[in-house]
Amino acid sequence: MTITEDAPGHVGSRRLRKEDPALLTGEAKFIDDLALPGAIWVGMVRSTEAHANIVGIDGSAALAIDGVNEVLSGEDLAPLWGEGALPCAWPVTPDMKNPAHLPVARGTAKYVGDAVAVVLADSRYAAADGAAAVVVDYEPLPAVVEIEDAVADGAPLVHADLDSNECYTWGLWGDNAPAIDAAFAEAAHVVSERYLQQRLIPAPMEPRGCAAVPSPAGGELTLYSATQIPHILKVMTAVVLGIPENKLRVVAPSVGGGFGCKLNVYAEEILCSALAMQRGAPVRWTEGRAEAAVSTIQGRGQVQHIELAADADGKVTAVRVKLLADMGAYLQLVTPGVPLLGGFLYHGCYDIPNYMFECTSVFTNRTPTDAYRGAGRPEATYAVERAMDSLAVSVGVSPEEIRARNFIGADAFPYTSAAGLIFDSGDYQTVLDKAVALADVDGRRSDQAQRRASGSSKRIGVGFSSYVEMCGLAPSRVLASLDYGAGGWEAATVRISPTCKVQVVTGSTPHGQGHETCWSMIVADQLGVDPDDVEVLHSDTAVSPTGLDTYGSRSLAVGGTAVYMATEKVIDKARAIAAHQLEASEDDLEFSGGVFRVRGTPEAEVPLAGIAFAAFTAHDLPDGMEPNLEAHVTYDPPNFTFPNGTHIAVVEVDTDTGDVDLIDYVAVDDCGVQINPLVVEGQVHGGILQGAAQALYEDAVYNSDGQLVSANLGDYLVPSAAEAPRFRLDSHVTPSPTNPMGVKGVGEAGTIAAAPAVINAVVDALRDLGVTDVDMPASPQTVWRAIADAQGGAS
Amino acid sequence: MIPAAFDYEVAESADHAISLLGEHGDDAKLLAGGHSLIPMMRYRLATPSVLVDVGRLDDLRYIRTGNGTVSIGALTRHSELEHSAALAEACPMLASVAALVGDPAVRHRGTLGGTIAHADPASDLPAAVLALGGTIVAQGPGGSREIAATDFFTGYFESVLADDEMITEVRVPAGSGGWNYQKFNRRAQDWAIVGVAVAGGGSGVSLVNMGSTPIRASGVEAALAGGASAAEAAAAAADGLDPPDDLNADAEYRSHLARVLTERALNAAGVA
Ligand SMILES: Cc1cc2nc3c(=O)[nH]c(=O)nc-3n(C[C@H](O)[C@H](O)[C@H](O)COP(=O)(O)OP(=O)(O)OC[C@H]3O[C@@H](n4cnc5c(N)ncnc54)[C@H](O)[C@@H]3O)c2cc1C
Interior angle at CA B97, CA B140 and CA B235, nearest 5: 105
Tell whether the model's pLDDT for residue A174 goes beyond 80: no
Query: Which atom of ligand 1 sits closest to the CA of residue B31?
Result: 30
Tell whether the model's pLDDT for residue A3 goes beyond 60: no
Contact B2 A288 (CB under 8 A): yes
Contact A214, A276 (CB under 8 A): yes
Q: Which of B4, B186, B253 sits opposite A784 (nearest CB)?
A: B253
Asked if domains A20-27+489-635 and A34-141+208-286 share a fold, the reply is no
Distance CA A297, CA A581 (A): 58
| Residues shown for chain A | 795
Distance CA A104, CA A69 (A): 18
Class of domain B180-268: alpha beta
**pLDDT at residue A7, as a whole number:** 52
**pLDDT at residue A82, as a whole number:** 82
Number of other residues whose CB lies within 10 A of the CB of residue A577: 23
Query: Fold for domain A299-473+639-790?
Result: Aldehyde Oxidoreductase; domain 4 (3.30.365)
Whether residue A474 is preceded by a cis peptide bond, meaning omega within 30 degrees of 0, is: yes
The CA B257 to ligand 1 mean position distance, Å, reads: 25
**pLDDT at residue A602, as a whole number:** 81
pLDDT in tens, A265-316: 999 999 999 999 999 999 999 999 999 999 999 999 999 999 999 999 999 9
Q: Which of B4, B187, B248 sits opposite A719 (nearest CB)?
A: B187
Tell whether the model's pLDDT for residue A789 goes beyond 80: yes
Average pLDDT over residues A195-215: 97
Residues contacting A37, CB < 8 A, separation 6+: none
Predicted confidence band at A794 (pLDDT cuts at 50, 70, 90)? very low
Q: Which of B103, B247, B260 sits opposite A701 (nearest CB)?
A: B247
Contact B256 A784 (CB under 8 A): yes
E strands of A643-712, at which residues?
Answer: 644-654, 659-670
Q: Tell whether ligand 1 has an atom less than 6 A from the beta carbon of residue B29.
A: yes
Taking CA atoms only, the protein residue closest to ligand 1 atom 1 is B102
Give one word for A298, left, alpha or beta, with left for phi > 0 and alpha for psi -120 to 50. Answer: beta
Number of other residues whose CB lies within 10 A of the CB of residue A501: 16
Distance CA A621, CA A718 (A): 59
With pLDDT > 90 as the criterion, what percentage of chain A qualifies? Answer: 97
Q: Which of B1, B187, B257 sits opposite A290 (nearest CB)?
A: B1
Q: Give A440's Cβ-side CA count (13 Å radius).
A: 8
Contact A720 B103 (CB under 8 A): yes
Contact A717 B187 (CB under 8 A): yes
Distance CA A300, CA A371 (A): 8
Helices and strands, number each (H, E), in chain A = 21, 28
**pLDDT at residue A79, as a whole number:** 95
Nearest CA in chain B to A722: B188
Query: Which atom of ligand 1 sits closest to the CA of residue B120?
Result: 21
The CA B269 to ligand 1 mean position distance, Å, reads: 28
Q: What is the mean pLDDT of chain A?
A: 96
Q: What is the pTM assigned to this prediction?
A: 0.97
CA distance B5 to chain A (A): 8
Q: Tell whether ligand 1 has an atom less than 6 A from the beta carbon of residue B129.
A: no
Predicted confidence band at A5 (pLDDT cuts at 50, 70, 90)? very low
The CA B242 to ligand 1 mean position distance, Å, reads: 24
Predicted confidence band at A83 (pLDDT cuts at 50, 70, 90)? confident
* A·B CB contacts under 8 A: 62
Q: Got the DSSP string for B101-121?
A: SS-HHHHHH-BHHHHHHHT-T
Strands A629-635 and A422-423 come out as: unpaired
Distance CA A376, CA A381 (A): 9
CA distance B193 to chain A (A): 10
pLDDT lower than 70: segments of chain B: none
Chain mean position to CA A8: 33
Tell whether the model's pLDDT for residue A2 goes beyond 70: no
Going by the DSSP 8-state scheme, the letter that residue B47 receives in this structure is -
Distance CA A710, CA A695 (A): 16
The CA B118 to ligand 1 mean position distance, Å, reads: 6
Tell whether the model's pLDDT for residue A670 goes beyond 80: yes
**pLDDT at residue A291, as a whole number:** 96
Domain ranges across chain B: 7-53, 58-173, 180-268
Contact B253 A288 (CB under 8 A): no
pLDDT in tens, A13-40: 999 999 999 999 999 999 999 999 999 9
With pLDDT > 70 as the criterion, what percentage of chain A qualifies? Answer: 99
What are phi and psi for residue A525, nearest 5 degrees?
Answer: -65, -40
Tell whether the model's pLDDT for residue A4 goes beyond 70: no
Domain ranges across chain A: 20-27+489-635, 34-141+208-286, 299-473+639-790
Taking CA atoms only, the protein residue closest to ligand 1 atom 6 is B102
> Which of B6, B18, B35, B78 most suits a substitution to test ligand 1, by most atoms within 8 Å of the C-beta?
B35
CA distance A660 to chain B (A): 9
Among A206, A268, A172, which Cα is nearest to A33's?
Answer: A206
A51–chain B Cβ distance below 8 A for any pair: no
pLDDT in tens, A582-598: 999 999 999 999 999 99
Average pLDDT over residues A424-439: 98
Q: How far, CA to CA in Å, does A271 sit from each of A77, A229, A283, A412, A772?
A: 9, 17, 9, 52, 49
**pLDDT at residue A176, as a whole number:** 83
CATH of B58-173, one of 3.30.499.10, 1.10.287.610, 3.30.465.10, 3.30.2390.10: 3.30.465.10
Task: Sort out which chain B residues have CB atoms less than 8 A from A291's CB and list them.
Answer: 1
Average pLDDT over residues A533-549: 98
Residues contacting A455, CB < 8 A, separation 6+: none
Contact B5 A129 (CB under 8 A): yes
Q: How far, CA to CA in Å, does A398 sit from each of A392, A441, A462, B151?
A: 6, 11, 11, 59
Q: Tell whether ligand 1 has an atom less than 6 A from the beta carbon of residue B30.
A: yes
Distance CA A431, CA A434 (A): 5
**pLDDT at residue B26, as a whole number:** 85
Class of domain A20-27+489-635: alpha beta
Element (H, E) at A108: strand A108-109
pLDDT in tens, B193-237: 999 999 999 999 999 999 999 999 999 999 999 999 999 999 999
Q: Tell whether ligand 1 has an atom less than 6 A from the beta carbon of residue B111.
A: yes
Class of domain B7-53: alpha beta
Contact A44, A131 (CB under 8 A): yes
Superfamily of domain A34-141+208-286: Aldehyde oxidase/xanthine dehydrogenase, a/b hammerhead (3.90.1170.50)
Chain B residues with a Cβ under 8 Å from any Cβ in chain A: 1-2, 4-5, 43-44, 103, 184, 186-190, 193, 247-250, 252-253, 256-257, 260-261
CA distance B2 to chain A (A): 7
Tell whether the model's pLDDT for residue A6 goes beyond 80: no
Contact A675, A561 (CB under 8 A): no
Please give the residue that has the higher pLDDT: either B27 or A209: A209
pLDDT in tens, A340-396: 999 999 999 999 999 999 999 999 999 999 999 999 999 999 999 999 999 999 999
Task: Sort out which chain B residues have CB atoms less than 8 A from A689's CB and list them.
Answer: none
Tell whether the model's pLDDT for residue A464 goes beyond 50: yes
